Structure 1
Amino acid sequence: MSIRRDAPRTRAVYGNPSSPLAETTLNYNQVSLPATLTHQWNGSQLDIGYQYNADRQKTRVTFSDSSFAPAALPDLHQTYQSNNLNQYTAINDSAPEYDKRGNLIRHGEWSYAYDKENTLISAEKTGVQIEFGYDALNRRITKKVTKDNVTTPYAYLSVGDQEMAMLSGTGEVSDVYLYGAGPDEVVADITTRGQNFYFQDALGSTIALTNAQGEVIEKHGYTAYGLESGSGHDNAAFRFAGRRIDPETGLSYNRARYYSPTLGRFLQTDPAGTEGGLNLYAYVGNDPVNFIDPTGQWGETASLGLDALPVVGALKGGYEFFRDPSWINAGIAAAGIVPGGKVAAKGAKWASKAGREGEAAVKSVYNIGDKRKISVGEDRYRIPDGMPDKALNEVKNVKRQGLTRQLKDYSDYAQKERLDFNLFMRPDTKVSKPLQEQIDKGIIKRKDIP
């Protein structure tokens, strides 16, 4: 695949540029918003048109081929009741249930369980049990699905915020994903089933999947909140707003939280608390037509075509890169895969390499103090990266950072103990609005990693 480095991007070519398998063109209106998005495939074409109001909000989306548009869904006449915490207490005749920390633990036929950090660790219904495991950076690294007493393990290898490969229970690479400019813009995958190309709409949702010959093999349509009305195929691993879908539960994995298109909201409360709004479960401020939330921490505008894209190398080269033994061993370590195909959901030291490098860079210039265990609530403890006299220091060597529960705990503790809370990040780290407000107020002092 080759992509022109126009800014903003206007064209992407799949395959050999002189004889492409497929091509995408993007045109903009006078205020630099996507006006038309055209996908040309082997034997077919789709034109998507966008219209906006004076506030730059979408008012109309048109499809030249109606088979790609969201199909009409049955009129379910859902009736919702909620309490003063914005929790649904009744949906028609069912009664969703929540734990004392506000996490949804039961809805319909599914039951959910969480750890002390409000991270989803299991989902269960009659005949199906699913377990999730995460690394030290809170990235999902394992999923174990047991259905009718047959267990299938999956493991995931990420580089930064991007999931780059999926491994089988024996540690073999089964799927490799290649990205464009955005953190969730998957442009191609190579799987044991073959090679596929992904095509998105302006929101970043996957609307089509083609084979290596550029022929459309899968179509997906979505309601405003991401409920699918597509072809019924599950080959596209990444769907609504570019996030990974769990076909068993229908939930989207949005990193810090899980999103339910059926409910149109998150299962867990906002890690930033009310800093992001009074409704702790709301998805992108209830404006899913114009915003996305790839991290589960804050809404943002979709960046399709707004940034220059790096040229994506040959698909075979990407596949061989992740089949390299050093990468496989790293993936096995991160996922906790051991010989014999067993998967253990445990964090890995390898996964925190970036964090250690960030700490080392800061410590080379600053005396951030020693690590010390602190109490941040009932049976809850944290270990900041350093605590010298009159300060609490934390290092986040990441591209994006929100006001997570961890940082909120540190902020509350520092204010209670009258300590300076210093947060070391990269100079180019993008922070959420709630976190930026804490920085602007001087509650958190932002400092650069050298």
Structure 2
Amino acid sequence: MTFTSQKWSYGYDSAQNLVKRTNNTTVETFTVNVLNQLTLIPDSVPSYDRRGNLVSRVASGNIPWKELYYSYDHENRLTCVQTDTYYTPESYRFKVEFVYDGLSRLRIKRNYIWSGGGWYGSGGETRYLYDMSAGGAAGMLIVQERDGANWPTVTYTRGRDLSGTVDGAGGIGGLLARSHGYSSGSWAYHNFYHSDGNGNVTALADSGGTLQASYIYDPYGRYLTGTGTLLTSNVMRFSSKPWVSFLGTSATSGLYYYGYRFYDTYLQRWVNRDPIPISATMNLYAFAQNSAYLYRDFWGLSDELDLPFGPRFTTGNPLNPINCEQLEALIMDLQRNAVGHELYGAWAKAYLEQLLDIWDDYCDDDHGDSECPAVGPAPVPQLQPSPAVFSSSSLRNAPSWSLPWQQPCLTATGSMIIVGGAIIVIECWLNPINGPLPP
């Protein structure tokens, strides 16, 4: 699969609203009101109801998938998405309905097609089954899909990922395998998921290792290109979440279902407000604090730190664990030099949150010892870099090493370690308070 490289940049207002998106030389602008609701997007004009739900995107002219209408129930759950009925050809017209259970889980998706002047349900029906033992909040993880006759069509195998948990390696729900071709109590075909550091599904391979599907996304999950026989039929993709497609099995039009809200990758935001009205964020439509590579949202309720390319640490027993004094110095340096930095501020803020949690648990006087140990092994910071993130190759072929703070700086002012194209470490680890960030 060939793919032309793309360079993305984004502009936001003071309330975390996307106002400008640039892909190479293509510039798109977005306009919002004081309620953080979109009022103008490329090719269409959005509108909202009094409860803050996106109800329409009205386009200029016959532009497929640009003009959409949304309906919600009294719980503000999305119940229908459809186009207008004047699109030509008729294949541009679609309607999708959603049915939920008492736990607000999506249970049924019905696809309708337009024929003879009306909507007909021959577009197919998908029923979703959940397993309480599969992990997640109140059994929110889909483990099987069935058709309208209740016949099993797809089942999902979930379990521990490389982190030893169902969520620690970036994805959500420990998604391991997809099986289809059910007959006489068994499944004929099994394919296995491969994900990037953020848990985004990038490929499926069969038991022989043959690639059956591959995906490339933009930084916020919009599908760019892909290949393979399971490209469209597989729906578990960005953040390991199900892609609820429009127009049958289209790979490019649809929404991601997160459990309590739907996420629009084109708009880079949720289609409606946070169901918890008192939120820690100033913008109730913002997705993952506009930093999908640093944060993830499990169910559409709140985001949390996810550092697949950052300095993720694992509990271990290194020979020289970092002590509270070193941790305090690193926290002070981030607060002084990094958090407000134009280029590295988002990374530093996310990393700082993690370090402060460690400090509260192990080093704060209110949590145990009256004085933190200054040298030698400490009762916390029993931390070592995860080999999957830190390696000698990550340090631009620097000598092999075990702990970053034991190494000399790569430059006079600090180090800049790059993994997968993402800057993950900025500062001299030998003495965290020894110098400013690189310019």
Name the TM-score, length of structure 2 as normaliser. 0.52
Q: CA deviation at 1:226?
A: 0.9
2:278 & 2:197 partners in 1: Cα distance? Answer: 29
SS at 1:241's partner residue? helix
**What does 1:27-426 align with in structure 2 at a 5 Å threshold?**
75-107=25-57, 108-125=66-83, 126=85, 127-148=93-114, 149=120, 150-159=122-131, 160-180=139-159, 181-182=166-167, 183-192=172-181, 194-231=189-226, 233-248=231-246, 249-302=253-306
Supply the AA of the counterpart residue of 1:132.
Answer: F
In structure 2, relative to structure 1, the CA distance for the partners of 1:203 and 1:171 (3 Å cut) is same
**Runs of 5+ unmatched residues, structure 1:** 1-64, 309-450
Q: Is the 8 A contact 1:260 1:266 kept in 2?
A: yes
Deviations 1:356-392 (A, max 9, x none): xxxxxxxxxxxxxxxxxxxxxxxxxxxxxxxxxxxxx
Greater alpha carbon shift after TM alignment, 150-159 vs 260-269: 150-159
Cα-to-partner distance string for 1:74-129 (whole Å, 9 max, x where unaligned): 75421211100111101145210101100001123111100111100011014211
**Distance of aligned partners of 1:235 and 1:153 in 2 relative to their CA distance in 1, 3 Å threshold:** closer
Larger RCO (alpha carbons 8 Å, 6+ apart): 1
Change (3 A) 1:68 1:109: same
Tell me how far 1:236 sits from its aligned partner.
2.5
Q: Is the 8 A contact 2:269 2:285 kept in 1?
A: yes
Structure exhibiting the larger radius of gyration computed from Cα positions: 2
Shift of 1:169: 1.0
Name the CA distance, whole Å, in 2 between partners of 1:214 and 1:106.
44
1:382-435 deviation digits (Å, cap 9, x = unpaired): xxxxxxxxxxxxxxxxxxxxxxxxxxxxxxxxxxxxxxxxxxxxxxxxxxxxxx
Match for 2:241: what amino acid? R
Partner Cα separation in structure 1 for residue 314 and residue 175 of structure 2 = 15
The count of aligned residue pairs is: 245
Deviation at 1:134, TM superposition (A): 0.7
- In structure 1, C-alpha distance between the alignment counterparts of 2:41 and 2:238, rounded to whole Å: 23
Checking the alignment, whether the CA contact within 8 Å between 2:39 and 2:45 is kept in structure 1 is yes
Residues 196/74 of structure 1: CA separation in 2 closer, same or farther (3 Å cut): farther
Q: CA RMSD in A?
A: 2.8
Distance 1:70 1:242, change over 3 A: farther
Q: Judging changes above 3 Å, is the alpha-carbon distance between structure 1 residues 176 and 92 closer, same or farther for their aligned structure 2 residues?
A: closer
Question: What SS does the corresponding residue of 2:97 show, helix, strand or coil?
Answer: strand
Conserved? CA contact 1:270–1:276, under 8 Å: no
In 2, Cα distance between equivalents of 1:75 and 1:244? 31
How far has the Cα of 1:294 moved from its partner? 2.0
SS of match in other structure, 1:230: strand
Residue matched to 1:396:
none
Distance 1:189 1:291, change over 3 A: same
| Residues 1:171 and 1:307: Cα distance change in structure 2 (over 3 Å) | farther
Determine helix, strand or coil for the equivalent of 1:280.
coil
Q: Give yes or no for contact 1:165–1:176 (8 Å, CA) kept in 2.
A: yes
CA 171–268 in structure 1, closer or farther in 2 if over 3 Å, else same:
same
User: Conserved in 2, the CA contact under 8 Å of 1:103 and 1:269?
Assistant: yes
Q: 1:190 to 1:71 in 2, by over 3 A?
A: farther
Change beyond 3 A, Cα 1:93–1:269: same
Bigger shift: residues 195-204 or 144-153: 144-153
Contact 2:293 2:307 in 1 (8 A): no
Q: CA deviation at 1:272?
A: 1.6
Q: Is the 8 A contact 2:127 2:148 kept in 1?
A: yes
What's the % identity of the aligned pairs?
A: 28
Could you give the per-residue CA deviations for residues 292-318 of structure 1, whole angstroms, max 9, x where no partner exists? 11200011234889899xxxxxxxxxx
CA–CA distance in 2 between the matches of 1:135 and 1:298? Answer: 22
- The answer to whether the Cα contact below 8 Å between 2:6 and 2:24 also exists between their aligned partners in 1 is no
AA at the equivalent of 2:220 = Y
Amino acid in structure 1 at the alignment position of 2:276: A
Q: 1:235 and 1:210, CA in 2 relative to 1: closer, same or farther beyond 3 A?
A: farther
Q: Higher mean Cα deviation, 261-270 or 181-190?
A: 181-190
Indicate the residue corresponding to 2:333 in structure 1.
Answer: none
